[in-house]
Structure 1
């Protein structure tokens, strides 16, 4: 699909198929804030080298204590919604971009979309990839806020979070998984700070919703 402008919505809810290419980059805004197009691509490709099969793969988990919904697009962004979002809605592509061209029938897409909220105080919290490292326990990616809005919030709001850490193991797909790929699941882990969220990515069990909604 060709499009113009802000690619955030598409990259944050990328299909389960591996990322193959990005093209017409001269028509697309930098995919990371405060970077040029070239630096943004270098940043994405740098983390992709650590786990090529997992790059941009989306998983969704729920913080039952606060009723938050968390969507991880690995290597790119983590989104935190201040309420429970049904899984199919969390997987919809946000229309942050502009269509390459419109036809007589309007704008038609091959995937489900939802409107991109204009008001930043009504929008989900967004944390972009900041750094990646490898240790004995696997791969750690750290995501941070790049913009701070002057929004009012309660003590249970995710707006207090400054950083999100995601732990995973390198994704090695066998022949069966390549033929019928499945999303992974994630869990909210205990954290020592109320300004940091920690998430673990793992294989789903067959009875988990995200496994059945690929």
Structure 2
């Protein structure tokens, strides 16, 4: 997908669920001790261990600068972190695929695995706790009501 196609794809999510666009949600799954970082309309990362919120709130550089000019760091107006090759810190990455609004006034976003992690060691010695078998994630959330603001009249 090129930059223009990526922007159009991102706008599909924005058109349906504007209030959550580019917001991050961090949650945990207790049974497997997994951490989830959900960037609405963009990606989901599953970590095979409990990670702190302060660690997860900094996005991984899964993107690159639009300019070819090499600037000295920092390259962005927010803190980032590089992708780790250590199995306990390298997430399983799922990218935004589709979005729909249901008749129950819910929003369903689908995310699919981009590719295998290419890390062959599991973070856990218990192979049943790996997330390698997950290929698609659906996130269901209540639809938010768009706030309509009255037009402001110009002061004479």
What's the TM-score bracket when you normalise by the shorter of the two chains?
Answer: 0.7 to 0.9
**Offset, 1:79:** 0.6
| Contact 1:55/1:75 (<8 A) preserved | yes
Task: Tell me the TM-score normalised to structure 2 length.
Answer: 0.74
**1:27-54 alpha-carbon deviations (Å, 9 max, x no partner):** xxxxxxxx12222111111111001121
What CA distance in whole angstroms lies between the structure 2 residues aligned with 1:110 and 1:57? 16
**Equivalent residue in structure 1 for 2:7, among 25, 38, 41:** 41
**Offset, 1:101:** 4.8
**1:99-130 alpha-carbon deviations (Å, 9 max, x no partner):** 96545xx537654433332x386620110111
Aligned-residue RMSD, C-alpha: 2.5
What CA distance in whole angstroms lies between the structure 1 residues aligned with 2:75 and 2:2? 30
Pair 1:145-2:113 in alignment = yes
What CA distance in whole angstroms lies between the structure 2 residues aligned with 1:125 and 1:57? 19
Pair 1:53-2:19 in alignment = yes
In structure 2, do the counterparts of structure 1 residues 139 and 85 end up closer, same or farther at CA, with 3 Å as the change threshold?
same
Alignment of 1:20-99 (within 5 A): 35-96=1-62, 97=64
**Offset, 1:157:** 0.5
**Offset, 1:149:** 4.1
Bigger drift between 84-93 and 94-103 goes to: 94-103
| Contact 2:92/2:117 (<8 A) preserved | no
| Contact 2:116/2:132 (<8 A) preserved | no
**Equivalent residue in structure 1 for 2:93, among 119, 126, 145:** 126
Pair 1:161-2:148 in alignment = no
Unpaired runs of 5+ residues, structure 1, are: 1-34, 175-214
What CA distance in whole angstroms lies between the structure 1 residues aligned with 2:74 and 2:3? 26
**Offset, 1:131:** 1.1
